[in-house]
Structure 1
Amino acid sequence: MSTSTQIGLLILLAFVAANMPFFNQRIMLLGPQRASKPLHWRLMELVVLYFVVGGVGLALENHGGQVAPQGWEFYAVTGTMFVTLAFPGFVYRYLMHRKH
């Protein structure tokens, strides 16, 4: 698999993972079905999934060669990108008005 394909798949995985907390009512996809999941659970899931996607990215980087050292700037930028990718799920869950 080429590097550009790996990057594209990682971005797709990040998009799906960032929106996952907003499209289901289970806690960490494993818990019982709930009527409504509070926002703090969704944000905690978002943080955990950020590190899961980061781990997949680290594994891909390690597979492709030497792992580059990262400073706080890297984590600030990727965290901001992950939250930005979660925007469609947030809008769907909290800002769209649905008829009851």
Structure 2
Amino acid sequence: MNISLFSWVVILLAALAANLPFLNQQLFALIPLKKDPAWVKPVWLRLVELLVLYFVVGIVAHLLEAGVGNVFSQGWEFYAITGCLFLVLAYPGYVMRYLRKSNA
């Protein structure tokens, strides 16, 4: 496959994964946590889920890079920048969950 296509796949996967914790009340959108419909997933659990999804996207990106050719070693700067970028990608989901006015 094309390297440019791999780049877009990783970017789209990161955007979807970054917003996933804020768009539902289930753990990783698969595991129901409570039967009570009034229950709200706590913020700390959403942040833990966001951190785990950051590493999942990183592993997928690493596997795609390994499939194309040599894997480059990265320093702490790379992880700091990609972590901040992942948080920026999560902003629309955060706005939808916490900053949007409810009509109730």
Shorter-normalised TM-score: what interval? over 0.9
Aligned to 1:28, the other structure's residue is in SS state coil
Matches within 5 A, 1:19-98: 19-34=19-34, 35-98=39-102
TM-score, normalising length from structure 1? 0.96
Aligned to 1:29, the other structure's residue is in SS state coil
Larger mean CA deviation between 71-80 and 32-41 belongs to 32-41
**Higher helix proportion (structure 1 or 2):** 1
Partner of 1:13: 13
Aligned to 2:28, the other structure's residue is in SS state helix
Aligned residues: 100
- Of all paired residues, the percent bearing the same amino acid is 51
**Structure 1: distance between partners of 2:74 and 2:97:** 33
Superposed displacement of residue 33, structure 1: 4.8
Runs of 4+, deviation exceeding 6 Å: none
RMSD of aligned Cα (Å): 1.0
Superposed displacement of residue 27, structure 1: 1.7
TM-score, normalising length from structure 2? 0.92
1:30-72 deviations in Å (ceiling 9; x for gaps):
3225421000000000000000000000000000001100100
**Structure 2: distance between partners of 1:14 and 1:27:** 17
Superposed displacement of residue 29, structure 1: 2.5
Where in structure 2 are there 5+ consecutive unaligned residues? none
